[in-house]
């Protein structure tokens, strides 16, 4: 304050030089503000474009086309001996029921090639649906009921408008005769779009209409739980030790530099480390969430340590002194006073570290979690994959219908990330204390 | 209190780690290997798993070379049972296998895959020869009896019948099996049509290989990563660009893309199947025979893969873009595979 008065003391406030300088400084400020605003607007526009392209492609993944057919649960086909033996019913040829229903609907189709095309209107998942229906209610046998069956992926693409009906026939995956069949079904009101429950309850599949992200979600959950169980306690303990107990010396400085460096190491390196230690030395099972979690824990540790140290450092010294002054040991001061007070900050850091781990694929590549796994994992030792890997695998699949599945999976992953980050913000707002 | 929970959690995890380290026996087939065979292998795995008698095999996409490396790493239960490959196993790889105790291998040829050059439907299809492909993409081309850095900028520089647009080819990176096969079949095939290079082949095989297999690096060939869908999207956006990828992606995107004719032959299902289309390769998988019987279901998996409903002429794999073997070949492959006939390298 005093400096400024001194500076301007000798100059004339109304001189031309001063006004010019002032105008220049004001212009510079306006310019800077505009550039800043422009930068933010650019970032927002790009984000909007990204989100728009994902959402516009992806929202259709949450609905799926169904074809309603009058299925005759003929005893001849599924229970020839009339025993109603559950084992026999399980192994029966339910696809035949679907084929019979389609033939009955389109009796004019006879050639082998045409029949194949006709049968592909309905997904091969239909047989499983019928099997489950009969298992639940064996009385269905011998009756004819309308059943909604999952449509094949090409049919699904047509109803969702992804295949241009106006294109030349040769250029289309769905030919004229299939479109004609579809039109007939449509006219009879047999085609419907419904919420795609399978997307959230099925494992991966090579048939886009059957593919779901349940396997990947469970895999991500197991992996993150392992990561948290390992990284959180070790990270917090390390931070407490380094902040509260470690003497300041060369060795500890070295450790500190190393931790900061590790936070910046590319994640694939941790994958290689995981491969070398957990698979080649410890002989843990390949592709298991256990190994994935351990590997991601290595990656997340530095982030958690840094966040936890910052949170611990933010606790004022007066708390420490008060605790020690009342006769608490150093450990008691750390665990009874400093740790609880720094917990909101530590948790925020941990959640951010975990959401980073949730989005990671590169380290998992090395330990075999980038794989086609159809079964939903039942334990941390079963082969599993995680959500970003599922997105990567679908993005790489040739079938057109996987494009929307990819975007749909991205939307789900984004949802989880937003939830986790919102939780971090909530914890900070709710519990953080300002000193 | 909090500490105790942490302690318990750590102890529990450590216990699981220690326990699972011992659980080596497996009841699930593990497959690794080529990204080209991945869509077929996974389709079979799924069909095999949905029968309900066995667990669905785990299929990893590691690339042909990476897969064989894992496969040959040893004989114990931590190594994969089957590896997919978009090329035949090399002699050196068989030796590595043998050194690590993997001596009994069965080769199963599953079908063909065409490699196509394609562009957007908004322009005319290209009609190329292998020679022209070589001239467009080689790092060095023979001009006036000498190898010089590739001077061709537009397609019409190569041949006036080709369009006057910049050469811009999007293709796979060197780690890809598709690239290996493309270089071997298209580039080398084209190189052989130059006298200078055929002579070089006789005198110095290594120099010929490096001349025939080197793709230009001046920006005309763009490495687009392993993701073929990405190439498809870029071709849609840029109608002057040409892309190189597997036939199944052309098949799935036939409304947007068209295949270039190579040597006057269009890349269609039929032309690749009967061998007329010049850039096609065989696809394989390799089975570790010692694991048969130890891991349940391997034999049944081979049976499923080589059944008519899978790799037959109208099998579900052809719907995924696999080009089937001839009837006689399939018969032989099936018998050999089910008998676990040992690998013979010629």
Give dist(CA A266, CA B147) in Å, integer: 41
| Among A116, A287, A374, beta carbon nearest to B314 | A116
Of all residues in chain B, the one with the smallest CA distance to A283 is B21
Tell me the count of A-B CB pairs closer than 8 A.
111
> In this complex, do A206 and B38 lie within 8 Å of one another by their Cβ atoms?
no
Taking 50 as the threshold, does the pLDDT of residue B169 lie above it?
A: yes
Closest CA to A348 of A424, A239, A429: A424
Give dist(CA A213, CA A62) in Å, integer: 12
Mean pLDDT confidence for A46-53? 94
Lowest mean pLDDT among A160-169, B1-10, B99-108, B172-181: B1-10
Give alpha helix (H) positions in B108-225.
130-137, 155-158, 177-182, 188-191, 195-203, 205-213
Give dist(CA A59, CA A409) in Å, integer: 10
Q: Min CA distance, B237 vs chain A (Å)?
A: 15
Burial of A339 (0-12, 13-18, 19+ CB in 10 A): buried
Confidence at residue A11, expressed as pLDDT on a 0 to 100 scale: 60
Mean pLDDT confidence for A54-79? 88
Taking 60 as the threshold, does the pLDDT of residue B14 lie above it?
A: no
Q: In sequence order, what E strands does A141-263 have?
A: 144-150, 191-195
Lowest mean pLDDT among A107-121, A342-356, B8-22: B8-22
Confidence at residue A110, expressed as pLDDT on a 0 to 100 scale: 81
Taking 80 as the threshold, does the pLDDT of residue A2 lie above it?
A: no
Confidence at residue A313, expressed as pLDDT on a 0 to 100 scale: 93
Give the three-class secondary structure for A179. helix
Q: For all residues of chain A together, what is the average pLDDT?
A: 88
Q: Min CA distance, A333 vs chain B (Å)?
A: 14
| Among A172, A283, A375, beta carbon nearest to B255 | A172
Closest CA to A393 of A416, A420, A374, A414: A374
Q: Which of B4, B13, B66, B266 to mutate to test the interface with A (most CBs of A within 10 A)?
A: B13
Q: Which of A285, A369, A379 to mutate to test the interface with B (most CBs of B within 10 A)?
A: A285
Give dist(CA A410, CA A214) in Å, integer: 14
> In this complex, do B58 and A371 lie within 8 Å of one another by their Cβ atoms?
yes
Q: Min CA distance, B141 vs chain A (Å)?
A: 34
The more confident residue out of A82 and A260 is A260
> In this complex, do B226 and A396 lie within 8 Å of one another by their Cβ atoms?
yes
The CATH 3.40.190.10 domain(s) of chain B lie at 27-111+282-338, 114-280
Confidence at residue A10, expressed as pLDDT on a 0 to 100 scale: 54
Domain ranges for chain A: 60-196, 214-431
Evaluate the CA torsion angle B191, B196, B200, B206 in order and state its sign: negative
Query: Is the domain A214-431 a CATH 2.40.50.140 member?
Result: no
- Chain A residues closer than 8 Å to B59 by CB: 371-372
> In this complex, do A396 and B50 lie within 8 Å of one another by their Cβ atoms?
no
Confidence at residue A136, expressed as pLDDT on a 0 to 100 scale: 87
Q: What is the fold of B27-111+282-338?
A: D-Maltodextrin-Binding Protein; domain 2 (3.40.190)
Q: Min CA distance, A288 vs chain B (Å)?
A: 10
Residue in the structure block whose two tokens are 């009796």: A107
Give dist(CA A13, CA A181) in Å, integer: 87
Give the three-class secondary structure for A288. coil
- How do B82-85 and B242-246 pair as beta strands? unpaired
Confidence at residue A42, expressed as pLDDT on a 0 to 100 scale: 97
Evaluate the CA torsion angle A326, A330, A335, A338 in order and state its sign: positive
Mean pLDDT confidence for A172-190? 86
> In this complex, do A205 and B59 lie within 8 Å of one another by their Cβ atoms?
no
The set of residues, in sequence order, having a beta carbon less than 8 Å from that of A177 and lying 6+ positions away, is: A114, A117
Report residue B319's pLDDT band, with 50, 70 and 90 as the boundaries: confident
Mean pLDDT confidence for A99-114? 85
- CB atoms closer than 10 angstroms to residue A24: 10
**How confident is the model over A65-77, as pLDDT tens digits?**
999 999 888 888 8
Which of the listed CATH numbers 3.40.190.10, 3.10.620.30, 3.40.50.920, 3.20.20.150 matches domain B114-280?
Answer: 3.40.190.10
> In this complex, do B255 and A373 lie within 8 Å of one another by their Cβ atoms?
no
Q: Min CA distance, A29 vs chain B (Å)?
A: 41
Number of residues assigned to chain A: 435
**How confident is the model over B66-89, as pLDDT tens digits?**
899 999 998 888 889 999 998 888
Max mean pLDDT among A96-105, A133-142, A303-312 falls in: A303-312
- Max CA distance (Å), chain A: 113
- Chain B residues closer than 8 Å to A120 by CB: 319
How far the first Cα of chain B sits from its last, in Å, is 69
Confidence at residue A318, expressed as pLDDT on a 0 to 100 scale: 93
Give dist(CA B318, CA B40) in Å, integer: 9
Confidence at residue A18, expressed as pLDDT on a 0 to 100 scale: 86
| Among B46, B58, B253, beta carbon nearest to A383 | B58
Report residue B9's pLDDT band, with 50, 70 and 90 as the boundaries: low
Q: Min CA distance, A284 vs chain B (Å)?
A: 5
Confidence at residue A303, expressed as pLDDT on a 0 to 100 scale: 93
Mean pLDDT confidence for A181-199? 90
Mean pLDDT confidence for A377-384? 90
The set of residues, in sequence order, having a beta carbon less than 8 Å from that of A9 and lying 6+ positions away, is: none
- Chain B residues closer than 8 Å to A207 by CB: 46
Mean pLDDT confidence for B205-217? 86
Of all residues in chain B, the one with the smallest CA distance to A375 is B56
Residue in the structure block whose two tokens are 């074809």: A67
Report residue A226's pLDDT band, with 50, 70 and 90 as the boundaries: very high
Q: What is the ipTM of this complex?
A: 0.74
The more confident residue out of B6 and B174 is B174
> In this complex, do A279 and B78 lie within 8 Å of one another by their Cβ atoms?
yes
- How do B221-223 and B169-171 pair as beta strands? parallel
Q: Which of A397, A400, A407 to mutate to test the interface with B (most CBs of B within 10 A)?
A: A397
Burial of B104 (0-12, 13-18, 19+ CB in 10 A): middle
- Chain B residues closer than 8 Å to A395 by CB: 227, 229
Quote the pTM value.
Answer: 0.79
């Amino acid at each position: 304050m005093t400096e400024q008065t001194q500076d301007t003391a000798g100059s004339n406030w109304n001189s031309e030089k001063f006004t010019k300088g002032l105008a220049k400084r004001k212009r510079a400020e306006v310019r800077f503000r505009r550039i800043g605003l422009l930068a933010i607007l650019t970032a927002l526009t790009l984000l909007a474009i990204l989100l728009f392209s994902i959402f516009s492609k992806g929202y259709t993944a949450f609905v799926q086309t169904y074809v309603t057919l009058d299925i005759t649960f003929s005893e001849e086909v599924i229970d020839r001996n009339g025993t109603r033996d559950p084992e026999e019913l399980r192994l029966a040829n339910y696809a035949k029921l679907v084929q019979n229903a389609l033939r009955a609907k389109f009796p004019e189709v006879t050639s082998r090639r045409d029949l194949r095309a006709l049968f592909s209107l309905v997904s091969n998942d239909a047989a499983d649906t019928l099997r489950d229906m009969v298992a639940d209610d064996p009385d269905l046998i011998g009756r004819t009921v309308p059943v909604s069956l999952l449509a094949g992926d090409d049919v699904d693409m047509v109803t969702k408008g992804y295949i241009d009906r106006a294109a030349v026939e040769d250029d289309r995956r769905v030919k004229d005769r299939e479109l004609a069949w579809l039109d007939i079904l449509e006219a009879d009101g047999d085609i419907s779009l419904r919420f795609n429950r399978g997307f959230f309850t099925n494992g991966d599949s090579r048939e886009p209409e059957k593919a779901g992200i349940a396997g990947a979600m469970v895999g991500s959950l197991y992996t993150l739980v392992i990561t948290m169980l390992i990284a959180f306690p070790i990270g917090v303990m390390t931070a407490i030790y380094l902040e509260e107990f470690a003497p300041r010396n060369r060795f500890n400085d070295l450790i500190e530099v190393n931790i900061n460096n590790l936070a910046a190491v590319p994640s694939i390196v941790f994958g290689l480390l995981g491969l070398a230690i957990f698979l080649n030395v410890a002989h843990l099972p390949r592709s298991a969430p256990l190994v994935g979690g351990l590997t991601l824990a290595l990656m997340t540790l530095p982030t958690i340590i840094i966040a936890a140290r910052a949170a611990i450092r933010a606790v004022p010294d007066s708390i420490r002194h008060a605790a020690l002054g009342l006769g608490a040991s150093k450990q008691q001061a750390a665990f009874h006073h400093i740790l609880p007070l720094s917990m909101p900050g530590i948790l925020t850091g941990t959640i951010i570290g975990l959401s980073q781990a949730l989005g990671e694929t590169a380290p998992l590549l090395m330990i075999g979690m980038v794989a086609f796994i159809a079964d939903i994992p039942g334990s941390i030792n079963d082969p599993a994959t995680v959500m970003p890997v599922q997105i990567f695998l679908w993005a790489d699949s040739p079938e057109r219908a996987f494009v929307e599945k990819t975007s749909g999976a991205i939307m789900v992953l984004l949802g989880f990330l937003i939830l986790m980050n919102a939780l971090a913000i909530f914890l900070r707002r709710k519990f953080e204390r300002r000193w | 209190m909090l500490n105790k929970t942490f302690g318990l959690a750590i102890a529990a995890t450590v216990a699981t780690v220690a326990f699972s380290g011992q659980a080596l026996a497996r009841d699930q087939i593990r497959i690794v290997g080529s990204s080209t065979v991945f869509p077929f292998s996974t389709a079979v795995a799924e069909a095999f798993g949905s029968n309900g008698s066995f667990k669905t095999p785990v299929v990893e996409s590691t690339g042909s070379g990476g897969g064989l490396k894992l496969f040959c790493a040893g004989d114990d239960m931590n190594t994969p049972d089957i590896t997919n490959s978009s090329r035949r196993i090399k002699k050196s790889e068989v030796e590595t296998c043998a050194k690590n105790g993997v001596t009994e291998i069965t080769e199963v040829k599953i079908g063909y895959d065409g490699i196509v050059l394609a562009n957007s439907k908004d322009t005319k299809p290209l009609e190329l020869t292998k020679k022209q492909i070589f001239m467009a993409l080689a790092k060095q081309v023979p001009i006036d009896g000498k190898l010089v850095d590739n001077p061709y900028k537009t397609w019409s520089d190569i041949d006036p019948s080709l369009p006057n647009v910049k050469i811009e080819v999007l293709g796979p990176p060197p780690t890809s099996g598709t690239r290996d096969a493309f270089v071997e079949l298209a580039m080398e095939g084209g190189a052989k049509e130059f006298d200078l290079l055929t002579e070089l082949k006789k005198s110095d095989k290594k120099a010929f290989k490096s001349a025939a297999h080197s793709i230009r690096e001046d920006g005309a060939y763009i490495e687009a990563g392993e993701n073929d869908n990405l190439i498809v999207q870029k071709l849609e956006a840029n109608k002057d660009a040409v892309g190189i990828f597997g036939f199944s992606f052309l098949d799935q995107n036939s409304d947007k893309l068209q295949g270039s004719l190579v040597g006057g032959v269009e890349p269609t299902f039929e032309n690749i199947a009967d061998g007329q289309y010049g850039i096609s390769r065989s696809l394989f998988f390799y089975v570790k025979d010692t694991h048969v019987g130890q891991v349940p279901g391997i034999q049944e998996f081979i049976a499923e893969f080589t059944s008519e409903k899978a790799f037959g002429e109208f099998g579900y794999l052809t719907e995924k873009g696999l080009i089937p073997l001839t009837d006689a070949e399939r018969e032989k492959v099936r018998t050999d595979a089910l008998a676990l006939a040992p690998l013979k390298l010629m």
